[in-house]
Amino acid sequence: MENKSCLKCGATWMDSQLYWATGAKGTDEDLAGLVCNQVDNPEECINPCRGDTTGQTWEYRRGFVDGALEQALKQKTL
């Protein structure tokens, strides 16, 4: 079993499975889009997918929240 942890964000890989600092399972691509791609010093990041843009991003999540809010407001006015 191979374990490694990122000193920058606290993410842990156990046998290539990413676990967020919260303990929840995740993907390397989502971690890259939400955290690693914003790291100023790339040498501090151990995510093999750093630079990948196929995972979730803050822009995606913001769009999801905005869409849910808009839908809730529409339902409230009906």
Q: What is the DSSP letter of 51?
A: T
Q: Let me know: does 9 contact 21? Beta carbons within 8 Å.
A: yes
Domain that holds residue 20: 3-77
Query: Tens digit of pLDDT for each residue in 22-65?
Result: 999 999 999 999 999 988 887 889 999 999 999 998 888 787 67
Q: Residue 12, SS3?
A: strand
**What distances in angstroms separate CA 12 from CA 6, 49, 61, one per listed residue?**
6, 14, 23
Does this model's pTM top 0.85?
no
At residue 73, the pLDDT reads 80
Q: How many domains are there within the chain?
A: 1
Q: Let me know: does 33 contact 52? Beta carbons within 8 Å.
A: yes
